[in-house]
Amino acid sequence: MTRVLVLTAIDVEARGLARHLGLTRIARSPWPHFASGTVELACVGLRASQLAGRAGAFRPFDLVISAGACGALAPELAVGDLVVPEAVVDAAGGRWATALLRRLAPAGTLLTVADVVETPAHKSRLWLESGARAVDMESAPILAWAAERGSRGAVVRAVSDSAERAIPAALAAAVGDDGRVRPLRAVTAALARPSALTHLMELRAGSEAALKSVSGALAALVRE
C-alpha cells in the first residue's frame, strides 16, 4: 500500500483538490491540510517556501506528488492539458527524475523558476533555452525535499496559461508566499488598468480547467 503526500503551492488548489478527492480537513490546522486513507494533501506556499516549517505535521509517506497549475512553454500545450514530466529542472542546472505513475505516461521536462514569468516573450525564451514543456515555481524544491528523505517524487500538473499568455506581476502579487490568495489585491490589480480584468478572468478560468484535469488524474491514481 503506497502512502501518497500531495503538495500544492496555493490554498485554492489544496481546497479544490481535497474536495474532488474526498479528503477531510485536519482539525486545528492553521493552513490547508487534508487527509483520508493513504492520501494526505497540504499547501506549502509559493516556491514551496512553507514546506520545511509544515513538514513536521505530515504523516509517513512513500510518494510525494507536486500538484497544481503550471504555465505552458511549448506552443502546442493548451489550457487544461495535463503535464506529467519525466524530469524537473531548475535554472541552476539541477535535475530530478520523476517516479513512474500508473496510467499517467510521462513526457518531457518541467522547468522550475524562482519568479513569475510575466510575458509571452519571456516564456518563449525559457522554452528555447531549456527545452522544457512547462514552468512552475515549486516542483524542483519539492522533489529535492522528497529525495533527501529517500522518497519517490512525481509531478501532476495542468496548464492554466498557454505559451501565448502570462501572469501579470500585479495579479501574481495577489498570492502571498504562504499560498493564501488575497482577493482584495486581485480586485485592486484588476481595476488598475482595463486589460487586467480580462487577464484576471482568463487566469481564473484557466486555473479551474487545470484543477479539473489534475483532480481527474489524481483520482485515477488514488483508485489504483
Q: Give the span between the Cα atoms of 25 and 42, in whole angstroms.
A: 10
pLDDT at 193: 63
CA distance 100 to 107: 11
What is the distance between the alpha carbons of residues 164 and 42, in angstroms, rounded to a whole number? 31
Fold of 4-223: Rossmann fold (3.40.50)
Low-confidence winner among 68-82, 113-127, 149-163, 184-198 (lowest mean pLDDT):
184-198
Looking at residue 101, what DSSP letter applies?
A: B
Distance linking the first and last C-alpha atoms of the chain: 10
CA atoms within 13 A on the CB side of 223: 8
User: For 122-155, how does the pLDDT look when each residue is reduced to its tens digit (9 = 90+)?
Assistant: 999 999 999 999 999 999 999 999 999 999 999 9
Q: Is the pLDDT of residue 7 over 90?
A: yes
Q: What is the pLDDT of residues 57-107, one digit of tens each?
A: 999 999 999 999 999 999 999 999 999 999 999 989 999 999 999 889 999
Give the separation between CA 80 and CA 216, rounded to whole angstroms.
Answer: 11
Is-contact 32 17, C-beta < 8 A? no
Identity of the residue numbered 48? A
pLDDT recorded at residue 141: 98
SS3 content of the chain, % helix, strand, coil (to 5): 40, 25, 35
Tell which wins on pLDDT, 188 or 99. Answer: 99
Burial class (CB in 10 A: 0-12, 13-18, 19+), 202: middle
With cut-offs at 50, 70 and 90, classify the pLDDT of residue 173. low
Using DSSP, state whether 26 is helix, strand or coil.
Answer: coil
pLDDT at 180: 77
Could you identify the residue written with the cell 516573450? 121
- Residue 75 CB neighbours (<10 A): 12
Comparing C-alpha atoms, which of 66, 71, 111, 70 is closest to residue 88? Answer: 111
* Domain boundaries of the chain, sorted by first residue: 4-223
The residues that bridge with 152 in the sheet, in sequence order, are 63
At 14-56, the pLDDT tens digits run: 999 999 999 999 999 999 999 999 999 999 999 999 999 999 9
Instruction: Evaluate if residue 119 carries a pLDDT over 70.
Output: yes
State residue 54's pLDDT score: 97
